[in-house]
């Protein structure tokens, strides 16, 4: 029985695996009666088993594409919440409009990662794509090309980032074969033509190195390394090697017992043959972002043949070839909880360091019909998108085609949507537009247009009371005739930026702020009333301080949120306030309008674990 063989494989690397869960998932899969789905899902699970992944991932892979509105309640009663959420993640990934992809497009990866709540879904998605490519002849020509294009642009690079490099090479070669069959065949044939000559040189090189290492009492395993067709194509395309040289390239891998031996071997190799300039990389002392470690060098070897050599420990090699889970289980099994924690850290690493410095899940990524990606905050509308393209487009926007479906200007956009804006020469901005746009650019452009036309703007800031802290807005009040006033906001009317306000002198520079329509101000003495107003322009250096819970990546998230808005920051400092709390402080010097500052504060407040944001100083 298929599931019995799968269970045996799993038990070899995880004696604590939840086989009952996996078997229950397989039985539910069999009940679907769809032979193609059963075969594909089982193949996907087998790929993940070879990567030594845990019971939750394997079980969810067996259930992919089965969850529907009709059977959701039934599945929720049979399987835990984590599996159901994984299945929903996979469903959302498959609904994303990723057709306008370019090779290694970081923008498309942003869209995809923003949709994933649990990174385990990415492992399943990659394994699923690999199975489709392995059996591509079952698919239509159009479908296989669509999958291959997405794989080579998105899933192959991401597979490398999450530590499953062995899959990356297969994904790339299979995709390349589908997309460029003639070029694939040409390279493959040329490799075969040179195979005998290449194997002889590999054998000779190996013998020379083995003899020297033996004399130095260094234990090592030396093997010829297969060159992948797509990697050869890229190197020729990028002109790292001449076309003729590439097919005669000798590639070796040396596995040692210790890091110390790695560097001894490197020294020996460079004494034996002349190193090729700019071809040395030390990923042991400086690991890649996915924790890949190895020394890469290239020398002019036998008969002056370019010879690529990788040097690493056996543990490093296991991590590279078998993946993240194999690395974690190298010295023994880890629990499901420990595994999940490590995967959570891995996703944060992807979000903060690997894909883009301005990537956060509080943003969405929308594509134009030509494939340009535009970043917007969650909750952004069609009109926000139109203004993001160009002010003229925003002013004339009357609606949009979202994923080929017509929608109005108020429609909220979702991550991955493809949007084509529809305009009309007779359209122009109106006051009610300010009630639903969320981006600072759209708001400021609409307000500017209305001012130019002499139309009054009421409560133009449109900032929710709970979004702006007392510490922030008290710095945005200007009081006539009083230097450094102590602002107190009345609880009776709770004024916010944009409200018409008045002030009352309470003595000792204490000023009480009310809305002008507040019922309680009729009782106040007119002599104590002061002229106060919201500052529209700042034109000062803003000293921002942020208190937050101490967690991995929080400092980077704050700075990236600020820099993603094209705001200049300087004098960045961070310090620990208590065991669980940190403070980040910095200076902002290019915010000119109050509305921009309020928008920035709102963005920072949306970051998880932020406790307080306030302006410590305003200086010229």
pLDDT at site 296 = 92
What the block records as the tokens of 229 is 């067709």
Domain with residues 541-619, CATH architecture: 2-Layer Sandwich (3.30)
Residues 6+ apart with CB under 8 A from 287: 293
Q: Which CATH class is domain 2-164?
A: mainly alpha
Could you read off the pLDDT of 369-383 as tens digits, one per residue?
A: 876 778 788 788 999
Which residue would you say has higher pLDDT here, 379 or 204? 204
Average pLDDT, the chain: 80
Dihedral sign from CA coordinates of 370, 373, 379, 380: negative
pLDDT of residue 467: 43
pLDDT for res 463: 42
**pLDDT band per the 50, 70, 90 thresholds, residue 23:** very high
Of the listed ranges 33-42, 331-340, 565-574, the one predicted with least confidence = 331-340
DSSP state of 593: B
pLDDT bin (cut points 50, 70, 90) of residue 42 is very high
pLDDT at 359 over 50: no
Q: What pLDDT, on a 0 to 100 scale, did the predictor assign at position 361?
A: 39
Q: Label residue 278 left, alpha or beta by phi (over 0 means left) and psi (-120 to 50 means alpha).
A: left
| Residue 345 pLDDT exceeds 70 | no
Which pLDDT belongs to residue 468?
Answer: 47
Question: What is the C-alpha separation between 538 and 589, in angstroms, rounded?
Answer: 10
The architecture (CATH level 2) of 363-452 comes to: Roll (3.10)
pLDDT digits (tens, 9 = 90+) for 528-559: 788 888 777 777 778 888 888 877 667 767 87
Helix, strand or coil, per DSSP, at residue 547:
strand
For position 309, what pLDDT does the model report?
93
pLDDT for residue 356 is more than 50: no
pLDDT, greater one: 61 or 246: 61
Q: How many CA atoms lie within 13 A of 100 on its CB side?
A: 17
Bridge partners of residue 375, in order along the sequence: 365
Highest mean pLDDT among 383-387, 480-484, 537-541: 383-387
Distance in angstroms (rounded) separating the CA atoms of residues 232 and 243: 9
Assigned CATH for 193-322 = 3.30.460.10
Give the model confidence (pLDDT) of 413-436 as tens digits: 987 788 899 988 888 898 888 888
How sure is the predictor about 172, in pLDDT bands with cuts at 50, 70 and 90? very high
pLDDT for the residue 576: 72
Neighbours of 151 (CB within 10 A): 27
Helices (H), 329-397: 336-349, 382-389, 391-395
Confidence of residue 464 (pLDDT cuts 50, 70, 90): very low
CB neighbours of 619 closer than 8 A, spacing ≥ 6? 540, 541, 543
Name the pairing type of β-strands 569-576 and 581-588.
antiparallel
Q: Which of 163, 142, 141, 210 is nearest to 51 (CA)?
A: 163
- Per-range mean pLDDT, top range of 235-244, 364-373, 409-418, 574-583: 409-418
Say if residue 252's pLDDT is above 90.
yes
The pLDDT of 299-315, averaged and rounded, is 89
Distances from the Cα of 266 to the Cαs of 204, 225, 261, 293, 589, in angstroms?
A: 18, 17, 9, 14, 49
Domain ranges of the chain: 2-164, 193-322, 363-452, 465-534, 541-619
Rg (CA), the chain: 30
Beta-bridge partners for 511: 487, 505
């Amino acid at each position: 029985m298929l599931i019995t063989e799968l269970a045996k494989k799993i038990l070899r690397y995880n004696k604590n695996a939840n086989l009952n869960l996996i078997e229950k998932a397989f039985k539910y899969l069999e009940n679907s009666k769809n032979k193609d789905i059963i075969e594909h899902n089982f193949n996907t699970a087998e790929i993940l088993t070879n990567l030594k992944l845990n019971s939750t991932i394997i079980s969810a892979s067996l259930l992919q594409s089965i969850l529907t509105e009709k059977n959701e309640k039934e599945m929720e009663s049979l399987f835990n919440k984590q599996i159901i959420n994984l299945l929903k993640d996979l469903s959302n990934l498959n609904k994303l409009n990723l057709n306008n992809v370019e090779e290694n497009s970081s923008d498309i990866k942003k869209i995809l990662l923003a949709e994933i709540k649990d990174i385990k879904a990415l492992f399943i998605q990659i394994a699923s794509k690999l199975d489709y490519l392995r059996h591509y002849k079952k698919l239509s020509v159009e479908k296989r090309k669509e999958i291959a294009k997405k794989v080579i642009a998105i899933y192959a690079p991401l597979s490398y980032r999450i530590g499953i490099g062995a899959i990356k090479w297969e994904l790339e070669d299979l995709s390349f074969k589908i997309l460029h069959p003639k070029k694939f065949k040409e390279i493959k044939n040329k490799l075969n033509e040179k195979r005998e000559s290449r194997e002889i040189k590999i054998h000779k090189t190996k013998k020379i190195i083995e003899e020297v290492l033996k004399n130095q009492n260094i234990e090592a395993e030396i093997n010829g390394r297969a060159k992948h067709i797509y990697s050869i194509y890229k190197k020729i395309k990028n002109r790292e090697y001449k076309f003729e040289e590439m097919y005669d390239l000798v590639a070796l891998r040396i596995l040692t017992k210790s890091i110390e031996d790695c560097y001894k071997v490197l020294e020996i190799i460079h004494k034996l043959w002349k190193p090729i300039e700019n071809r040395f990389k030390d990923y042991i002392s400086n690991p890649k972002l996915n924790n890949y470690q190895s020394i890469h060098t290239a020398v002019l070897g036998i008969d002056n043949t370019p010879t690529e050599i990788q040097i690493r420990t056996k543990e490093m090699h296991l991590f590279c070839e078998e993946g993240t889970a194999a690395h974690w289980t190298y010295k023994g099994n880890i629990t499901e909880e420990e595994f999940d924690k490590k995967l959570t850290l891995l996703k944060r690493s992807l979000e903060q360091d690997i894909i883009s410095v301005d990537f956060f899940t509080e943003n969405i990524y929308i594509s134009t019909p030509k494939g340009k990606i535009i970043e917007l905050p969650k909750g952004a509308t069609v009109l926000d998108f139109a203004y993001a393209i160009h002010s003229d487009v925003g002013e004339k926007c009357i609606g949009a085609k979202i994923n080929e479906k017509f929608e109005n200007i108020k429609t909220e956009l979702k991550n991955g949507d493809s949007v084509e804006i529809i305009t009309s020469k007779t359209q122009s901005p109106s006051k009610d537009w300010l009630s639903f746009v969320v981006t600072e650019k759209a708001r400021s452009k609409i307000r500017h247009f209305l001012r130019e036309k002499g139309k009054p703007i009421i409560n133009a800031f449109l900032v929710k009371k709970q979004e702006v802290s007392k510490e922030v807005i008290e710095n945005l009040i200007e009081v006539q005739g009083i230097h450094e006033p102590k602002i107190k906001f009345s609880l009776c009317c709770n004024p916010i930026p944009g409200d018409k306000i008045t002030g009352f002198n309470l003595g000792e520079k204490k000023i009480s702020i009310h809305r002008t329509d507040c019922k309680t101000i009729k009782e106040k003495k007119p002599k104590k009333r002061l002229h106060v107003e919201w500052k529209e322009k700042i034109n000062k250096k803003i000293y921002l301080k942020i208190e937050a819970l101490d967690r991995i990546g929080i400092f980077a998230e704050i700075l990236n949120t600020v820099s993603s808005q094209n705001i200049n920051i300087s004098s960045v400092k961070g310090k620990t306030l208590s065991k669980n709390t940190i403070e980040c402080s910095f200076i902002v010097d290019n915010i000119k309008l109050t509305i921009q500052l309020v928008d920035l504060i709102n963005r920072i407040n949306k970051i998880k674990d932020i406790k307080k944001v306030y302006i410590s100083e305003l200086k010229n």
